[in-house]
Structure 1
Amino acid sequence: MDNNVKFRRNVYIILVGILAFGIISQIARSDLVLKYVSNNNPMSLAELREFEAANMLVTDESTSDAHCMVYDSLDELSVKYYDNFREVYRYIKQPYTIQDVAADEIRFESCRAVLLLNSIETMPDAVDELERYIAEGGYLFMTRMDHPGPVFTRIYRKIGIVNYRYVIGNNDIEFTSNVLIGQKNQKFADDHFYNDSLSVELDHSSEMLAKGDLSPIIWRYEYGDGAVMVYNGNNLFTKSNRGLIVGALSMLIRDYIYPIFNAKLFYIDDYPAPLSKAIDLGIYADYKRNIASFFKDIWWPDMIRAANRYDLKYTAVAIQDYNEVVAAPLPAYRQEDLTNLIVYGREVLKTGGEIGIHGYNHQPLQFREDIAKEYDYKTWSSYEDIETSVQTVVAFLKKAFPSYDTVSYVPPSNVLSEQGRKALADNWDSLRVIASLYEDDPRGFSYVQEFEIAPDGIVEMPRITSGYSEAPDMLWLEASVMTAHGYFSHFIHPDDLLDEHRGKKKGWKNLYQDFGNLLDRISDTYPWLKAQTSGDAAMHVAAVLNSRITRKQSEEKLAVDIENYRTKQYFILRTDKKIGKLTHCHVQLIDENTYLVEATNAHFNIELK
C-alpha cells in the first residue's frame, strides 16, 4: 500500500512539473513577456556627456612613464604619422611628450621610450645621444624606413643591421611572431599592404618578428642595456595598421600592459525588414520557396543555430519600409510589416540580441547628389523631412515593443551627414550609439568613426569587417584591430546572397559554409572575446574611454591604478615572465607570452617571476 501511495505521489509530482514547464515555455514564447522587455541602461546621456576622453599628451617632461614622440612638422608623412600615433596613444592610455625636429632641441634623457616618426636624416646632431640613450637602458621604436643617407650610415649597426642595399617594394607580410595576436606563421599577401622597405641583412642576435618575401619587416634588437624595435616600412600612418604599432610597442617594452574593449559584436543590417514575396530563381531551385519564405524557414533558423554554436549576440537593425519617399508625408506602416517586426524582433531578443534602427527607409540621411548618384539613392528634400523620417521609425519600433528602448543606429550604406546626425540626436531620446565604419574612405562618402564619446553623449562605435565570406583586406583589418583594441565587430545583410557582388553567386548553402568557417576561425583564434550587443558594448566602450590608468612597474611587480573605474575592465599584458600572485584581477594566457587581464577593482597588482 505504501509503495502504491509513493508511486502515485511521484506520478503527480512529475505531471505537475511537466505542466509547469509547459506553462513557462508558452509564456516565454508569447508576446506577454516582450510587452515588459526593458533594456533601460543605467548610464544616461547626461552621464555620457560628462565623460572626457583622455588626452595623453603631457607637457611635464618629468612624468616618469611618458614616451617621447619625435616628428618633423615640415614633413607631410611625419605629420600623418603623428596624427595616427596620437590616436593609438589615446586608446592605450600611454602618456607622451612631443618633440619637433624642425623647431625643438631633441633630448632623450627623460623618455621612458622614444618613437621616431621622422626621417632619421633630419636629426644628425642627436644620433650620438640617441645611441647613448639606448645603451643606458632606453627603448627606441623606429617607426619608418626612408632612403638611407649619411645619418643612417652612422647608426644602422646599432639597430640590428649588418648590411643594407636599396629600397624595395613589399606586397606581403609574414609573421614569425605574434606581434599581431593570434597571427604567428600567418602570411598576408595582397596589394592593400604594399610597403616600401629597405633590403637588409640582420645581425644574428636580432629577433625577427615579421618578414616580407624580399626583406625583414619588423625586428627587435637589444643594444647595451636597452632595446630597439624597427619597422622596415613607411605605412604606419593608416588606421588599418594600428595593430602593428600596438603590437610592436608592447613587444619592445618589457612587461607592457594596455587597455582593450574585449567585445565581440555581430550586426545584421536590414533586419527585421519588409520581405519580398518574389521568386528568386536560385533560391527557388534550391529550396522551392519565395524570398520571404526562404528567409523565414531557412535563413533565420540557420542564423539562430550559428548564434547558439558560436556564442553570438545579434544586433539586428530594422527598416520600416523600402520605399524611396524622401519628403513628407511619409507612407504609414503596413500591418504586415509591423507583424514581421514583432515576430522576428521577438526571435532576436530571445537569442539575447538587440533591436536597433537602420532607418525609416534605406535612403541615407544626407543631401549630397554625388553620394546619391554613387549608390543610386535619392537625397532628402529638407532637414524637416529627415526629422520626420526619424520620428516615424522610432514610433514604429515603439509600436512593436512599447517597453523597449532602441539605443543603436546603423546608417544605410554607412552614409550619414552632419545634418542627419543632428536629426537623429534631436528626435530619438534613447539613442546611445552610432555604429558605422572604422576604415578610412578616400572618397569621403562614408561616415567614418573613431571610438569616442561625442559632445552630445552619443557613443561613436565603428564596425570593422563585413560579409559571409572571408577576404584578405577584411582578415588584415580584423587582426590589426584585435591587437589594438581586442574588438571584433562584423556585419552582414540577409540579402547578401541575392547580390552578385556580395554573394558571389555562391548560393546560401556555400555562403553558410563560408560563414561557419569564418566563425570557426574567430572562435579558435580569439576564444576569450566577450559576446555583447551593440548597446551593452557601447556602455563598456564609453567607460573604458573615460578611464585613465597609471602604470607602476618593477622587475617583480606590475601595479595599475584606474581612475574613473565603473565596471570590470580588460587589458592585454605582454611578458615572458611567469605570473605570480594576483590582487583584484584575473589573468588568462591567450597567446605566447600574451595574457588577458580582467581588472575587478580600480587598483590591481600582478606579481611577475
Structure 2
Amino acid sequence: MPLLLVAYRVMTQEPALPQAPAYASARQQRILVVHNTADSYGEQAYANALRALDYARLNYESLDLANFEGWPDLEQYSSLLFVTEMLDGIDEAQSQQIADYVAGGGGLAVVYRGWNPYLASLFGMKAGAEYPELIEGEGGLNFQADLFPGVKGLVLSEKTIPDLSAFDVSLQREAQVLASSGSGRPIVWLYRHGQGRVIYWNTVFLTEKEARGFIVQSVLGAQGVGVLPIANFATFQIDDFPASISTKKLEPLATEYDLTLVEFYHKVWFPDMMEIAHRYGLVYTFLIPFNYNDRVEPPFGFREWEHASVQEDNQPVFYSIYVSHLAAQQHELGLHGYNHISLTLENWPSEENMVLALQEASRRWDADNLGPQPVTYVPPNNIFDEAGARALTRSFPSLRILASIYTGRFEKGGNREFEPEPWNPKLFDIPRLTDGYHLDPYMRYVMISELGMMGIWTHFIHPDDVVHTPANYPDAPYHRNPNYWPWRGDNTGERNGFYYRLLHWLDFAKTFYPWLRYIRTADSLDILRSHLENQVSVELKPFEVILHTTTPTYFQVRINDRRRLFFNDMSGAQFVHAYYGEGYTLYTLRGLKKEVRLSLIIPASEPGTTPGAQPGNLFAPVGDHEELGPKDLQDETLWQPASVPGSASETPPASAPPPRMDALPVSTPTLRRRP
C-alpha cells in the first residue's frame, strides 16, 4: 500500500475496512452482454449496445440465450447487460446465480424490457407468475433523477417518443424511479440488491441509435466503481459560410437592424460569433460553398462568390473572400462544395462533371489565398452518393473527413458511423448529431447521449437560420425559424433571439461538461482514431484503480459509494474536474502515461456529519446529500433566454467540498474489451 495512503489512514484513525463486494476485486473490468438470437427485435437492441460499447471502449463478451447451457463464472464480470425480452430460458437456479452475483456487488443493466418470473424481484418488480401486460401507445419520458450529467429535468414529449412499449408492472417499495412516462408510469428505475445495483429500462426505447450514450451510462450506473475512457472533444461547424450572400433586406432582420443580409453578417453576426468563440473557447469550422448556382455542366464560374461586397478601408471588397481571410486566422475553413447541389448521379450527369466542378473550386481556393487545401467536407443537404464520395478525393486529395449526419438514410449519405466512409475509405466519417442555436429537449437528449457514449459533441449551425422563415421560403419542406425569432431581440427587450439561445446552450455545456475541448474538425480525426483504436483494461481493487492503455487518454472515474479519489496519491494522470452528482462522484482526468494508478480513500467525515465521525459501511448508498451544481439548471422550464446578456453559469470550483446529495444511487462506469 502506498506510504501516503497509509499515513492518511493513520492520521484519520479509520476503523478496519469492511469486506469489499465482488466487483471491487475484479481482475479486469468487463461486461457480459446477454442476448437471444431468437429475439429479432431484441437483436436490434443488441447490435445497438455493441456499437455503443465499442465506441465507449468498454470490454465485453457476449452470451446467446438461444444456445444457453449455463452461466460462466460471473465473478469475472463487473456487470451484466441484458438486451433481450426472451429471458424465459433462464431457470430458477440460474436466476438465483444472478441474484447472488448482484448481491455480492455485481451490476445488472436491463436496457430492453424483459421479464422472467424468477428474476422479477431482482428487477425491482413485485413478483408474479404471469407475464405482465404490455401497454401500447403510451409515450413521453420525464427524467426526474440524475442518471448522468445533464439528464435530470429532461422531458421528451410524446411526439419524440410516441410508444414506449412498457410493461404494466408494480415496483417494490425500495425501487427508486429515475424516469417516468408522460402519464407517470415508471419507465427507468434503480433497485438495490445486497451490495449491487440493477438499472431497469421498462421500454424498447434504447434500440434507437441516438440513445447509445444512455446504454453506456446505464451500464456505468449499475456498477459500483468504473472507468470510462473519453475522446474529449467538440466540433462546432458553420455550414454555408462564407458563401454567396444576399444583398436584400429580409425579415426579421430588417425590422431589428434595418440592414441587408450581407451587412448583417458583416456588422452583427460575424462579430457576435467571434465574441462567443472567445467567451466559451470555441473553434469553428466554416464550410464554404462557392456558389448557389444550378450548374452541373461546364463552364463552372464564380460570379456568385463575388456577388456581395462591403466597404473596408474606403474601398469595396468581396465579402466572402474578405471574411474567409478573417475566419482562417483562428478557425478552420472546410469545403461545402463548388455549389450547393448534392454530389449524386441523380443531380449530376456524371462523376466526371462533379470532378470538373470541384477542381475549379480547388483552383479558386488557391487563387483567393484561402490557405491550405481543406481537410473537412460537409455534403450539401447532408446528401451524397458513391460517385460523389469518389469525386471528392479525386478533386481534393487533401480531404480526410466527411461530416454528414448520424441519422437519416444510408443510401442518401446519412446514417453514418464514426468509421472510414464505406463508399470511399480515404475519407473518415465524423457525423454531426445536433444542430441549430436552440437547446430543445430533443437536442439536449442527443447531445448528452453522444457525450455519455465517448465524451464528444459534434454540432453544426447555419448563419441564415434567422431568416429561414415561412414567409421568406414558402416552398421549403421545413423551416429553421418557424417562430420568427429575432437574432437578439434587444430592440424589443425580450432577448429571445438566436444569439441568447445559443448562449444558453453553451452555458449548459459549460455547466455539465466544463472539461470539454473545442477543436477544429481537422484536428479531431487523429484524436478520434486514437480513441477508437485504444486498447484499454482496468483493474478494480477496494482502494486502488489501475488503468492500462496503449495510448494515454482522458478518462472518467465514477464512484457510487463513500470512497473518493486520493489526490495526493495519483500516478500517471492529472486531475481535471469533479462532478458531484446525486449519489455518485464523477472525476475527469487526463492520462499522461499508459499506466495510471489511482488510490481511493474514505473521508474521515462526510458532508453533513460531525467532523471526525467514523464512516459506516463503505459500500452503502451515499445518503442525505443535496442536489449538485447550479440548481436553476436542474429544471427544464428554467431554460429560457437569459435576462443578462452573456451570463454563463459557473460550475462549483474543484476545491470546494462535495455538496450534499439525495440518496439516489444512480451510478458507475466500466471499461472495454471487445469479443
Q: Normalising by the residue count of structure 1, what TM-score does the alignment of the two structures yield?
A: 0.81
C-alpha contact 1:70 1:101 (8 A) present in aligned 2: yes
Aligned residue identity for 1:547: N
Contact 1:69 1:116 in 2 (8 A): yes
Cα distance, 1:332–1:514 mapped onto 2, change above 3 Å = closer
Following TM superposition, by how much is the alpha carbon of 1:515 offset from its aligned partner in structure 2, in angstroms?
A: 2.4
Structure 1: runs of 5+ lacking an equivalent: 1-61, 369-378
- Among candidates 102, 119, 144, match of residue 66 of structure 2: 102
The one-letter amino acid paired with 1:413 is N
The equivalent of 1:599 in structure 2 is 591
Among 78, 85, 94, which residue is 1:119 paired with?
Answer: 85
Give the letter for the 2:590 counterpart. Answer: E
SS at match of 1:156: coil
Distance 1:335 1:215 in 2: 56
Q: Confirm or deny that 1:578 pairs with 2:567.
A: no
Q: How does 1:171-570 map to 2 (within 5 A)?
A: 171-193=139-161, 194-212=163-181, 213-332=183-302, 336=306, 339-350=318-329, 352-368=330-346, 379-401=347-369, 403-438=371-406, 440-441=407-408, 445-454=412-421, 456-500=425-469, 501-504=479-482, 505-509=484-488, 510-563=497-550, 565=551, 569-570=553-554
Distance 1:481 1:67 in 2: 20
Provide the rounded CA distance (Å) in 2 between the counterparts of 1:180 and 1:192: 21
Instruction: Kindly indicate whether the alpha-carbon contact (under 8 Å) linking 1:551 and 1:561 is maintained by their aligned counterparts in 2.
Output: yes
In 1, the alpha carbon distance for the partners of 2:304 and 2:404 equals: 28
The 3-state SS of whatever aligns with 1:102 is helix
Amino acid at match of 2:84: N
- Mean CA deviation greater in 410-419 or 302-311: 302-311
* Whole-Å separation in 1 of the counterparts to 2:107 and 2:67: 23
Q: 1:289 to 1:484 in 2, by over 3 A?
A: same
Residues in 1 aligned to 2:405 and 2:515: alpha-carbon distance in whole angstroms: 24
Q: What is the DSSP-based 3-state SS (H/G/I as helix, E as strand, rest coil) of the residue aligned with 1:161?
A: coil
**Distance in 1 (alpha carbons) for counterparts of 2:178 and 2:72:** 26
Post-superposition shift, 1:558?
A: 0.8
Counterpart residue identity of residue 355, structure 1: L
Cα gap change, 1:185 to 1:507, in 2 (>3 Å): closer
Cα 1:548–1:314 shift into 2, 3 Å: same
Q: Could you tell me which amino acid in structure 2 is paired with residue 525 of structure 1?
A: F
Counterpart residue identity of residue 595, structure 1: Y
Pairwise CA distance, 1:435: 1.1
TM-score by length of 2: 0.73
Relative to structure 1, the CA distance from residue 597 to residue 462 in structure 2 (aligned partners, 3 Å threshold; closer, same or farther) is same
Is 1:73 matched up with 2:60? no
Going from structure 1 to structure 2, the CA distance change for 1:215 and 1:313 (only over 3 Å counts) comes to same
Residue in 1 that maps onto 2:110: 142
Q: Does structure 2 retain, via aligned residues, the 8 Å contact 1:88–1:246? A: yes
CA distance in 1, matches of 2:67, 2:394: 45
Distance 1:463 1:289 in 2: 32
- CA distance in 2 between counterparts of 1:465 and 1:140 reads 31
User: Which of 582, 589, 595 is matched with 2:578 structurally?
Assistant: 589
Cα 1:333/1:560, change in 2 over 3 Å: farther
Q: Is 1:167 the counterpart of 2:131 in the alignment?
A: no
Alpha carbon RMSD of aligned pairs, Å?
2.5
The alpha carbon displacement at 1:518 in A equals: 2.4
Determine helix, strand or coil for the equivalent of 1:162. coil
Deviates more, 1:494-503 or 1:336-345: 336-345
Q: Which protein, 1 or 2, shows the higher relative CO under an 8 Å CA cutoff with sep ≥ 6?
A: 2
After superposition, what is the alpha-carbon deviation per residue over 1:569-594, rounded to whole angstroms, capped at 9, x for unaligned? 22222113211121111232034211
Deviation at 1:475, TM superposition (A): 1.8
d(CA) in 1 for partners of 2:49, 2:261: 47
Any stretches of 5+ residues in structure 2 without a counterpart? Answer: 1-25, 308-316, 470-478, 489-496, 602-675
Aligned mates of 2:109, 2:511 — CA distance in 1: 32
Change (3 A) 1:552 1:457: farther
**Residues 219 and 230, structure 1, Cα contact 8 Å, conserved in 2:** yes
Distance 1:282 1:238, change over 3 A: closer
Q: Number of aligned pairs? A: 529
TM-fit CA distance, 1:64: 5.0
Richer in helix (by share): 1
Tell me what 2:634 maps to: none
Deviation for aligned residue 1:280: 2.2
Give the SS at the match of 1:502. coil
| 477-486 or 115-124, larger mean C-alpha shift | 115-124
